């Protein structure tokens, strides 16, 4: 059941989520096995969790006027809670009431054309007037135009670094305005400076917050296409604005359309495309864990961990298929994979996949 946590419980959630050997998948496996983050921290001292650092992160975030939300809480964004797995914790600055309204992710090129920028502003403003919140990544180009055009109606900026780490620096005024009128969001710890590997995680949060993702301009190898792929994997509507075949900034969006994305020309097209999803009452999710609790009684097959490790490769494979190949249940397989990941020998991925580390 969703509920507000005490500060002791909140620090336990943060400490477990930030432990060096724990990713979102392992976090929820541990939660299912031990029942609570506090019990997991006591039962698995080898995780390297740092409660003092977690206490500092919570205090620093609150000093900035924010909060660290945990995935079990009612105020946690419902659409993110539907992901498998959701981010265990989310740092936020701003008005959490916006999480109760349906959102549209609008993303695109940093070196956007003047026409693309204008369309982003028009779409964002019109979506706001239609009652929808916008979500984007506070980058140059399309992202910045989206946020600026929907400040008054509601916008969410997702950062690749901590909520205190503004990037790019020229968006300082926009960042401050979103803090006052919208929401700044990050999955990463307070003070964390973004690296290249943080941006795909940021993109997963952007699309996870939204019922649909619109790509306005994107080159053939644009990061916005990764966002579109993630949105599709999350079961969300993927939309794209068509462009001239002669413009390289339209190559990615045109490919999305060729591959089955919904063609949109304006906010009305977007609203129509997500109409069945944007009517969900209150966006309250059914609370669930992405993995069933592993069996308390472990298998007496002492060779099973070795077989599971042998079945892993550098290519992520579904845990269910690994379990079938090793003649064990998915629960047994997930529990052993958790131990292998803690030992640094395996990696579990979102979507129920696993590979060698």
Quote the pLDDT of residue 83: 87
How far is the C-alpha of 241 from the C-alpha of 253, rounded, in Å?
6
| CA distance from start to end of the chain | 34
333 is written with which tokens? 């397989």
**How big is the CA angle at 84 (ends 348 and 182), to the nearest 5 degrees?**
120
pTM above 0.85, yes or no: no
10 or 350, which is more confident?
Answer: 10
Domains of the chain, with CATH numbers? 7-94 (no CATH), 96-184+193-278 (3.40.50.450), 304-356 (1.10.10.10)
pLDDT-derived band at 107 (thresholds 50, 70, 90) equals very high
Please say if the pLDDT value at position 354 is more than 70. yes
Q: Tell me whether the omega of the peptide bond preceding residue 342 falls within 30 degrees of 0, making it cis.
A: no
Please say if the pLDDT value at position 70 is more than 70. yes
How far is the C-alpha of 106 from the C-alpha of 112, rounded, in Å?
13
In terms of phi and psi (left: phi > 0; alpha: psi -120 to 50; beta: otherwise), the region of 337 is alpha
Per-residue pLDDT, averaged over 60-76, amounts to 95
How far is the C-alpha of 338 from the C-alpha of 316, rounded, in Å?
15
Please say if the pLDDT value at position 4 is more than 50. yes
pLDDT tens digits, one per residue of 228-246? 999 998 889 999 999 999 9
Phi, psi of 78, deg, nearest 5: -60, -40
Strand arrangement, sheet containing 183-186: 67-70, 89-94, 183-186, 155-159, 133-136, 103-107, 212-215, 237-240, 262-263
Per-residue pLDDT, averaged over 152-177, amounts to 96
Nearest CA to 240 out of 248, 272, 224, 230 is that of 224
Quote the pLDDT of residue 287: 35
How far is the C-alpha of 292 from the C-alpha of 331, rounded, in Å?
7
How far is the C-alpha of 286 from the C-alpha of 2, rounded, in Å?
9
pLDDT tens digits, one per residue of 217-227? 999 888 899 89
In terms of phi and psi (left: phi > 0; alpha: psi -120 to 50; beta: otherwise), the region of 236 is beta
**How big is the CA angle at 77 (ends 72 and 83), to the nearest 5 degrees?**
75
What are the E-state strand segments in the chain? 67-70, 89-94, 103-107, 133-136, 155-159, 183-186, 212-215, 237-240, 262-263, 317-318, 346-349, 353-356
């Amino acid at each position: 059941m969703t509920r507000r946590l005490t500060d002791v419980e909140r620090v336990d959630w943060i400490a477990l989520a930030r432990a060096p050997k724990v990713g979102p998948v392992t976090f929820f496996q541990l939660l299912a096995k031990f029942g609570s983050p506090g019990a997991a921290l006591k039962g698995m001292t080898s995780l390297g969790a740092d409660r003092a650092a977690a206490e500092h992160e919570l205090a620093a975030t609150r000093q900035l006027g924010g909060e660290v939300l945990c995935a079990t809480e009612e105020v946690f964004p419902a659409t993110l809670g539907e992901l498998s797995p959701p981010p265990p914790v989310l740092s936020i600055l701003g008005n959490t009431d916006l999480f109760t309204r349906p959102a549209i992710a609008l993303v695109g090129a940093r070196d956007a054309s003047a026409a693309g920028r204008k369309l982003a502003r028009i779409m964002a403003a019109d979506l706001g007037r239609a009652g929808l919140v916008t979500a984007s990544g506070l980058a140059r180009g399309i992202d910045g135009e989206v946020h600026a055009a929907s400040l008054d109606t509601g916008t969410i900026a997702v950062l690749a670094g901590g909520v205190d780490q503004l990037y790019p620096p020229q968006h300082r005024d926009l960042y401050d305005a979103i803090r006052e009128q919208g929401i700044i969001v990050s999955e990463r710890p307070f003070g964390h400076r973004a690296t290249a590997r943080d941006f795909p995680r940021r993109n997963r949060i952007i699309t996870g917050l939204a019922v649909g993702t619109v790509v306005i301009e994107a080159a053939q190898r644009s990061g916005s296409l990764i966002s579109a792929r993630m949105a599709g994997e999350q079961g969300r509507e993927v939309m794209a604005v068509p462009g001239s075949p002669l413009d390289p900034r339209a190559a990615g969006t045109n490919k999305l359309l060729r591959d089955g994305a919904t063609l949109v020309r304006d906010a009305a097209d977007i609203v129509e495309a997500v109409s069945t999803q944007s009517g969900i009452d209150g966006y309250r999710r059914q609370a669930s864990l992405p993995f069933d609790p592993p069996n308390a009684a472990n298998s007496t097959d002492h060779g099973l961990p070795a077989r599971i490790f042998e079945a892993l490769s550098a290519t992520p494979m579904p845990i269910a298929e690994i379990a079938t190949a090793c003649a064990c249940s998915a629960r047994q397989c997930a529990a052993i994979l958790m131990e292998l990941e803690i030992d640094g020998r395996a990696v579990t991925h979102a979507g129920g996949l696993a590979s060698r580390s």
